[in-house]
Structure 1
Amino acid sequence: MGIGTSSGVIRDFAGSYYVSEDNMAFGKPTKYWKLDPSKSNCNWDLAIGSAVDVYKTRTHNLCIDNCHSMVAMALNNMKYDNSCNWNMVKLAFYLIFYSKYVSFGAVLKSWLPFCIILSAILIFSFHSKLGF
């Protein structure tokens, strides 16, 4: 997860002590949620820059302190939508309901691996119950 500056540069906490610039850790974005800069209560780029400065000094942790946390901090810094309680869980729900896929290929890239693995598990389970 990353957040775009006013010039369209995506910032992403991609690893310990590293915030990437237009080079996201897991490749090009497949989904996006278009934020409204008018809902920011301060300078958009300064709020993102402040979060970037903090996350350049942090160790990346997949479960606790990650790219979602950095985006939440940027949104809290700018008091986006008059809120200071952005966090990973809230962002996840907002992405589910407000984001859009960039293309049909992005949908496939996002869901096809999961569907293949789930199908393999179900087929294996079904066959093992039948004694194959």
Structure 2
Amino acid sequence: MISIRNIQYTVSCCATVREMEYDRLYRKMTSNQENGHFAKNSDHNVDMSSRGAVEPIDHQRCRYPYCIVWTPIPILTWLFPFIGHMGIATSTGIIRDFAGPYFVSEDDMGFGKPTRYWSLYREDIKSTVWDSAVLDASEEYKNRMHNLCCDNCHSHVAMALNLMQYKGSKSWNMVKLCVLILIFGRSVGLKGFLKTYLPAILIYGTLFFMIAYF
């Protein structure tokens, strides 16, 4: 029989391995910056400080600089509105998202355009650090199998935040992001709101009506 102590030990080991993985990638990221491995003119690595200002959010072109973005997954989100597909954008607004096994999409978000976005505080993070973290997390997840419950699009975003040590933290995870995008995320207009919540409202409204009157 599996004891509680064994379960606690297993969980502790998993957390330690994940922490070591973040440290390894963070050292690699900072080493690349120090050695000049950034392509200065790349879409991933544009230094916004040299351009004088952060590019504005552009819903039409799907540009969300320094944002976490979210879009519904058909059927799954209709039944559970708090579950959806997540990505993170570079300093120039290009979205990267873990869209499937061994595949990280670029500028073509899986399941369609974002319907919600969360603009993150960026004053303490250089654009090169931000973009490096997004790039390194994306490269890492190109080598991973997609797991809906344990290692998914939210995990990809969490790794990017941990690598850049957003808010001084390396403990970002998919559960925390799932909650925070609901609290701090903003709908992309009325269309985005309806696309997110209308199917669930119709489904549960119909069920309530049937239960109440039949």
- Do both proteins adopt the same fold according to a TM-score greater than 0.5, normalized to the shorter chain? yes
Q: Over the residues paired in the alignment, what is the CA RMSD in angstroms?
A: 1.4
| 1:90 match | 176
Q: Is 1:20 aligned to residue 20 of structure 2?
A: no
Q: Is 1:54 aligned to residue 140 of structure 2?
A: yes
Give the conservation status (yes or no) of the 8 Å contact 1:40–1:82. no
Letter in 2 for 1:50: D
The SS at the match of 1:8 is coil
Letter in 2 for 1:54: E
Larger radius of gyration: 2
Task: Detail structure 1 runs of 4+ shifted over 3 Å in the superposition.
Answer: 39-42
Query: Structure 2: any 5+ residue segments left out of the alignment?
Result: 1-85
Deviation at 1:102, TM superposition (A): 1.2
| 2:190 match | 104
TM-score, with structure 1 as normaliser: 0.90
Bigger RCO (CA 8 Å, 6+ sep): 1
Q: Is 1:63 aligned to residue 63 of structure 2?
A: no
Q: Give the Cα separation in 2 of the matches to 1:101 and 1:60.
A: 27
Q: Give the Cα separation in 2 of the matches to 1:112 and 1:39.
A: 38
Letter in 1 for 2:94: V
Deviation at 1:123, TM superposition (A): 2.2
| 1:8 match | 93
Q: Give the Cα separation in 2 of the matches to 1:103 and 1:54.
A: 33
| 1:76 match | 162
Q: Is 1:120 aligned to residue 120 of structure 2?
A: no
The SS at the match of 1:33 is strand
Letter in 2 for 1:73: M
Q: Give the Cα separation in 2 of the matches to 1:34 and 1:53.
A: 23
Q: Give the Cα separation in 2 of the matches to 1:126 and 1:39.
A: 53
Letter in 1 for 2:150: I
Give the conservation status (yes or no) of the 8 Å contact 1:13–1:19. yes
Q: Give the Cα separation in 2 of the matches to 1:24 and 1:39.
A: 27
The SS at the match of 1:60 is coil
